[in-house]
């Protein structure tokens, strides 16, 4: 976090929001061994594109979609065939900064990806402590508990920013089949 602040370091990231055919969102609780934000609940998968040709392709956010497919396998054991890169919808980008424990933190340009697929989940315990699907009402209850500090429940800062600014509106469009109406990959939303 010290280097992030003093040098204004920034890196690319992505956040996947995977819904099943009932439009329930797959959430994960990050493993307790994670360096940043251990044991917090977050969206389906969050990580960083690697510096490799397949993940640097900017056109239609293909590099980020390739990275998302790779990390869904790494974190949740979701096979690439179950999440084809062409099925991801890049919806937008956010810029945010968040300290984790004082020593570590994130400063990211985060690409937000939606996908609807029924998948088999086999989580990697080094990455994921728990997972569950939630509908809107269950997510709202999770938010209420996190806000009240109940059950020690915490949410990742990037997930909370997306929830507070976009998620429910985008979820509506997803269910109506009008998700293309809310795609905005030109704007970088600076959120705090």
Active site residues: 46, 108
Non-local (6+) Cβ contacts of 172 within 8 A are: none
The tokens 């096979």 sit on which residue?
79
| SS3 call for 147 | helix
Strands 128-134 and 89-99: unpaired
Phi and psi, residue 77, nearest 5°: 65, 25
Strand ranges inside the chain, DSSP E: 11-19, 25-30, 41-42, 45-47, 89-99, 105-116, 128-134, 188-190
The tokens 């990959």 sit on which residue?
185
| SS3 call for 114 | strand
Environment class of residue 22 by beta-carbon count within 10 Å: exposed (0-12), middle (13-18) or buried (19+)? exposed
| SS3 call for 155 | strand
């Amino acid at each position: 976090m010290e280097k992030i602040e003093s040098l204004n370091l920034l890196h690319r990231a992505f956040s996947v929001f995977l819904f099943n055919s009932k439009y329930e969102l797959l959430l994960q609780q990050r493993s307790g061994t994670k360096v940043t934000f251990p044991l917090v609940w977050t969206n389906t998968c969050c990580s960083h594109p690697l510096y490799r040709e397949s993940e640097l392709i900017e056109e239609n956010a293909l590099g980020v979609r390739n990275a998302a497919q790779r990390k869904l396998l790494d974190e949740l054991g979701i096979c690439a065939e179950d999440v084809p890169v062409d099925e991801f919808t890049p919806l937008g980008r956010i810029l945010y900064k968040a300290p984790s424990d004082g020593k570590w933190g994130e400063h990211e340009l985060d690409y937000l990806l939606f996908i609807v697929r029924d998948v088999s989940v086999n989580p990697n315990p080094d990455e994921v402590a728990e997972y569950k699907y939630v509908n809107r009402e269950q997510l709202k209850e999770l938010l209420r508990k996190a806000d009240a500090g109940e059950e020690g429940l915490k949410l990742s800062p990037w997930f909370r920013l997306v929830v507070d600014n976009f998620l429910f509106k985008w979820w509506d469009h997803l269910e109506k089949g009008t998700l293309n109406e809310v795609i905005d990959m030109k704007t970088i939303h600076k959120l705090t």
